[in-house]
Each structure stands twice: as structure tokens, then as C-alpha cells.
Amino acid sequence: MPRRSTVQPVRLMGDERLRLFSGSANPELAQLVARYLGLAPGPLVRKSFADGELYVQIQESIRGCDVYLVQPTCSPVNDSLMELLILIDACRRASARQITAVLPYYGYARADRKTAGRESITAKLVANLITAAGVDRVLAMDLHSAQIQAYFDIPLDHVYGSPVLLQYIKEKQLGDMVIVSPDVGGVSRARAFAKKLDDAPLAIVDKRRQAPNEVEIMNVIGDVKGKTAILVDDMIDTAGTISEAAKVLLRQGAKEVYACATHAVFSSRAIDRLSDGTFTEVLVTNTIPVPPDRRFAQLRVLSVADLIGEAIWRIHEDSSVSSMFR
């Protein structure tokens, strides 16, 4: 089956089996995905009771339909997650033929294993909750760790935001680049990124974490002197790790530093750290909405709507999703 263009929208005229609904976490992204598919997001009512309980009602018949629910579980994480579960339950009780949870951002993913006694593995817990709610399939983007795919006992399609980031960097024609992983755990991600940039050289920032959200940078493994350093990660949360890594790279002689991440979590002091002049540009995608008061001069928000829309179309047509990234 030929690959669809990411420029022209896919028109599903006459195919009324496919329905797309958006939760409240990122309706702008859902609207762009729907536009790519030639659809309009389905109507629904979402209300909150005085005590904070959520109420959701689908406003059209979806009996026998393939339903796609677009809802990143981003801040407020608990509300976004609970709304997703309620949406899934509402669709199941409305006799949808198949329900796919589209998770541009998967919250609670960082606790994906036990590192000390008496801890919860929340990445697995959330997978259990989503499955128990009645979803048939999950479409997720840039999971914090690949092993989370195994936490689901239902089909999961894992797609990546890197193509839009790579395209932007290629168009910049930055010249002598080095791709940098901000920690040892992200080496495979950075290596894959470097391979797509004509096998650009790779460097690693070695760090030691003294406490949660506090990082002590040790040294740089690799040559960065006189080069444009591109730090690659899956998310930017407090920006502590990536900002300290950038400062070390500049001290080691890097000409300039770019930050690339799929998910712009941007909590705590992230904006101050990212906008202090250390970075030439900070590249993120719109998996998580970035409100106007969280934007700054160096920030560039790139859209992954076409990628998600293409993946939805391929799932609906029983076509290959992984071939999008070959």
C-alpha cells in the first residue's frame, strides 16, 4: 500500500466507521489530526462536578464504529488519565466496534521498574487501568522506555516524533554537528537520531543524580569542541538535566547547543533554565500543549499531527505502521 503524503490530508470520504474524539488535554492537536484525516472531531460533553468528579457523554451514535480517542495524559495528569478512562468506558458502553487510545504523551512512565523496595511501577499500573477500562488498542508516541510496550496485553503501536525534529534540523543546515545524549540511558535514542543525520558523531554526558530533579554533571564522553551540539531526549520536565548538560558542552568547547525533545512537560523552573541564553534553540513537538505564558524566544514547537494521523489511517486500513519510519 503506498505511503500517504504528510502534506495533503487523507480523505476518508464515505467511511463512516472511523470516528475520532478528543479529550480536554490537547484539543488543538486532535483538531489537526482530524484535519489530516479529513474528519471533524466527534461531539461530546465534558463537565466537572463541584467535588472534581468528571462527566463525559458521547453526543452521537458510535455503534459498530472504530473509535480513536486522542488524549495525552499530561498536566493535570490525574484528571487527564481519569478522563481517558471515562471516555473509554463511555465508548465501550455505546457499542463501539473497536476503541483505540491515542496517547501522544504517556504519563506515569518514568516509574517503569523498581529501583528500591516498596515502590510502585506506575507505568504498568496505568497500562492495567487503560486495558481494564475496555480499550482494544493503544497508539503511543515516544514512550519513556521501550519496555512499557510489554506492559500492555493488547496491541500497541509505538510511533516516534523524531522525523519532524530531524526534518527541521536538516533544513537548518547546521554543518559540523555532534549528537549528544544527556545521560547514559538515552544513548540508544541519540544513536538512532545520529544515524538519520548521515551518521553524525555521538557524544554522551555522564551524570550522577544526587536527589530527584537534582543533577551533578561529571564529564563529556566524545569530542564536541568547535561543533554544534544537539542534545536529544524524549522529554524536558524541569530541564535540570538538559540545561546542566548544555553548560558542560559549552565549557568543553561546543560552538552552540540545540535541545531536541518530543514532549514539552516544562514543569517547575524549566522555562527559566531553557531561556537563560544557554541554548540557541529548544525544539519540541505539540504532543503536550505549550500555553503562551510558557513560551520563550528560543522555543520552536513542531507539529506531529500528520504523523499521528498517518498512523491512525494505517491502523484503520490494516496497513504497516512501522514502515513509516524506515
| Model confidence pLDDT, tens digit, residues 272-295 | 999 999 999 999 999 999 999 999
User: DSSP of 60-118, one letter per residue?
Assistant: S--TT-EEEEE----SSHHHHHHHHHHHHHHHHHTT-SEEEEEESS-TT-S--S-SSTT
Q: Encode pLDDT of 140-187 as tens digits.
A: 999 999 999 999 999 999 999 999 999 999 999 998 999 999 988 899
Q: Extract the C-alpha cell encoding 239.
A: 530541564
Q: Are 23 and 83 in contact (CB under 8 A)?
A: yes
DSSP state of 140: E
How high is the pLDDT of residue 219?
87
Q: Looking at residue 146, what is its pLDDT?
A: 92
pLDDT digits (tens, 9 = 90+) for 202-256: 999 987 656 666 656 578 999 999 999 999 999 999 999 899 999 999 999 999 9
pLDDT of residue 1: 37
* Dist CA 139 CA 301 (whole Å): 21
Task: Choose the catalytic residue: 47, 124, 170, 207.
Answer: 207
pLDDT of 3 higher than 80: no
Q: Tell whether omega for the bond before 76 is within 30 degrees of 0, i.e. cis.
A: yes
Identify which has the larger pLDDT, 6 or 206. 206
Does the pLDDT at position 2 exceed 60? no
3-state class (DSSP) for residue 126:
helix
- Confidence at residue 112, expressed as pLDDT on a 0 to 100 scale: 95
Identify the pLDDT of residue 280: 98
Q: Are 239 and 278 in contact (CB under 8 A)?
A: no
Tell me the per-residue pLDDT of 10-61, one tens digit each, with 9 for 90 and over: 444 446 799 999 999 999 999 999 999 999 999 999 999 999 999 999 999 9
Identify whether the C-beta of residue 226 lies closer than 8 Å to the C-beta of residue 255: yes
pLDDT for res 8: 47
Model pLDDT, residue 25: 98
pLDDT for residue 15: 66
190 membership: H or E segment, kind and range: helix 187-196
Q: Provide CB contacts within 8 A for 63, sequence distance 6+.
A: 94, 95, 96
Mean per-residue pLDDT of the chain: 93
pTM: 0.91
Percent of the chain clearing pLDDT 70 (strictly above):
92
Active-site annotation holds for 196 = no
Whole-number pLDDT of residue 270:
97
Q: In angstroms, rounded to a whole number, what is the distance separating the alpha carbons of residues 233 and 144?
A: 9
Percent of the chain with pLDDT over 90: 89
pLDDT at 77: 97
